[in-house]
Amino acid sequence: MIQIEKLNQKYGGTQILWDLNLEVEQGSCTCIMGRNGVGKTTLLKCLMGLLPPSDGRILFEGKPIEGSAAQARAKLGIGYVPQGRDIFPLLTVEENLLIGLPARRDGLKKVPEKIFELFPVLRDMLHRRGGDLSGGQQQQLAIGRALVIDPKVLILDEPNEGIQPNIVRQIGDVVTRLNEEDGLTVILVEQKLGFARRVGKEFRLMQKGSVVAADRMANLDDGLIRQYLAV
């Protein structure tokens, strides 16, 4: 579904991504892991079109998208939950959700019920400002918001940062459900091994801006962890 070939990315003078290759299958749930600062967020931003890559190709369903703008990618069906959530703080929860509607391909004019089913809190909070929500609620809102555009791929950047345990679990369940029941392709950046193991089906390990290991989650062993995830 997504193929990234020889992606390079620089911030000014410093190169962050180095000839990065990555392939994500349709319907998979891929977990990207790596130490702080290896470039996970950067990679996702490139994928979403929020950072222009210096060089390389990104294919979405076989078509190159590296030149297209972020809004076009959203319309193609890439949903993005950024690190730090990036809720629109002064919009109400409802407005945060409504924003994505025009990007849907089916022209639906109201927020799909499914989202409130997945995250019942959102219904209670509908008229509060997004910025006033607590962290966990914001995280749920961010995921719900990404789902509004009816994505084919859902990108989640550390969705559990600062979230209370029971909601972490709930998010995990939702992601698994979306992936398994609805066949949604999921790309997940996650630091916590437990969660990654429970939710992810595949893993990719990153080091110094490139993907250095890729396999099924079951095969993530202590050796790899020590090599790439320890300090």
Partner 1 sequence: MRRDTAWPFLVPRRRSVDVSKQVILYLEDLNVSFDGFQALNNLNLYVNDGELRCLIGANGAGKTTLMDVITGKTQCDSGSAWFGQNIDLLAHDEAEIAQMGIGRKFQKPTVFEAHTVFHNLELSLQGSKGVWSALTAKLSSSERDRIDEVLKVIGLEKLRFQLAGALSHGQKQWLEIGMLLAAEPRLLLIDEPVAGMIAEEAERTAELLTSLAGKHTVIVVEHDMEFVRSIARTVTVLHQGSVLAEGTMDQVQNNPDVIEVYLGEEV
Partner 2 sequence: MSAARKFWTSLFNLLTELRQPGRGSSWLVGILLITTIAMSAANLLLPADSPLYVSTYTITLMGKYLCFAMLAMAVDIIWGYCGILSLGHGAFFALGGYGMGMYLMRQIGDRGVYGNPDLPDFMVFLNWQELPWYWFGMDQFWFAVLMALAVPGLLAFVFGWLAFRSRVTGVYLSIMTQALTYALMLAFFRNEMGFGGNNGLTDFKDILGFDLQADGTRVALLLVTTLLLVIAFLSSRAIVQSRLGRVIVAVRDTEARARFLGYRTERYKVWLFVYSALIAAVAGMLYVPQVGIINPGEFSPLNSIEVVVWVAVGGRGTLYGAIVGALLVNYAKTRLTAIMPDAWLFALGALFVIVTVYLPSGLAGLLQRFGGQQNGKSASVEAERESSNKPSIGMREVNA
Partner 3 sequence: MKQLLLSGCLLFCLLLVSTTWAQSESAPAAVDGLLQQLTEASLREVGSVVEQLERTGGESMRPLFETMLAGDLYYHRQTGALMAVDKNAEGDRIGRDVFSGADLGVQSRRDIKKIRVNNRLRGQLRDTLARLDLRHGSTAEQRAAVLAILDELTEQNMRLLQRVADTDVNGELRELIGLAEAMVQLRDSSDRVVRIAAIETMSGRLENPVRNQLRRVVNDERESDAAVKAAAQKALDRIDGRMAFFGSMEQLFFGLSLGSVLLLAGIGLAITFGVMGVINMAHGEMIMLGAYTTYVIQQLMPNAIEYSLLVAVPAAFLVSGSVGVAIERGVIRHLQGRPLETLLATFGISLILQQAVRSIFSPLNMQVVTPAWMSGSLQINPVFSITFNRFYILLFALAVFISLVMILKKSSLGLNVRAVSQNRNMAKAMGVRTELVDAMTFGLGSGIAGVAGVALSQLTNVGPNLGQSYIIDSFMVVVFGGVGNLLGTLVGGFSLGVANKFLEPATGAVLANIIVLLCLILFIQKRPKGLFPQRGRAAE
Ligand X SMILES: Nc1ncnc2c1ncn2[C@@H]1O[C@H](COP(=O)(O)OP(=O)(O)OP(=O)(O)O)[C@@H](O)[C@H]1O
Name the site residues for ligand X (rule: CB under 6 A): 11, 14, 16, 34, 36-42, 83, 132-136, 162
For residue 201, give every residue at least 6 positions away whose Cβ sits within 8 Å of its Cβ, in sequence order, or none: 28, 29, 30, 179, 216, 217
**Site map 72..111 versus Mg ion, x via CB under 5 A:** -----------x----------------------------
Q: Which is nearer to partner 3, 102 or 162 (CB)?
A: 102
**Site map 37..56 versus partner 3, x via CB under 8 A:** -----------xxx------
**Dist CA 196 CA 193 (whole Å):** 5
CA-nearest of 86, 159, 93, 168 to 123 is 93
Answer left, alpha or beta for residue 144, where phi above 0 means left and psi between -120 and 50 means alpha: alpha
Based on the shown chain and the rule CB under 8 A, indicate whether residue 37 belongs to the binding site for partner 2: no
Q: Which is nearer to partner 3, 23 or 95 (CB)?
A: 95
Instruction: Sort strands 202-207 and 29-34 into parallel, antiparallel or unpaired.
Output: parallel
Based on the shown chain and the rule CB under 8 A, indicate whether residue 22 belongs to the binding site for partner 3: no
Binds partner 2 (CB under 8 A): choice among 2, 20, 44, 51: 51
Residue that has been written with the tokens 């961010």 in this structure: 142
**Dist CA 138 CA 41 (whole Å):** 19
Q: How many CB atoms lie within 10 A of CB 161?
A: 15
Based on the shown chain and the rule CB under 8 A, indicate whether residue 67 belongs to the binding site for partner 2: no
* Binding segment toward partner 2, per CB under 8 A, in 7-15, 99-107, 118-126, 222-230: 7-15
**Site map 69..98 versus partner 2, x via CB under 8 A:** --------------------xx--------
Judged by beta carbon distances under 5 to 8 A according to partner kind, the member of ligand X, partner 2, partner 1, none in contact with residue 13 is: partner 2
Go through 55-67 and write b for each residue having 16 or more CB atoms within 10 A of its CB, e for each that does not: ebebebeeeebbe
Based on the shown chain and the rule CB under 5 A, indicate whether residue 41 belongs to the binding site for Mg ion: yes
For residue 94, give every residue at least 6 positions away whose Cβ sits within 8 Å of its Cβ, in sequence order, or none: 111, 126, 127
Contact 204, 214 (CB under 8 A): yes
Residues that bind partner 2 (CB under 8 A): 11-14, 51, 89-90
Residues that bind Mg ion (CB under 5 A): 41, 83
Residues that bind partner 3 (CB under 8 A): 48-50, 69-71, 74-75, 80, 82, 86, 88-91, 95, 98-100, 102-103, 129-132, 145, 148-149
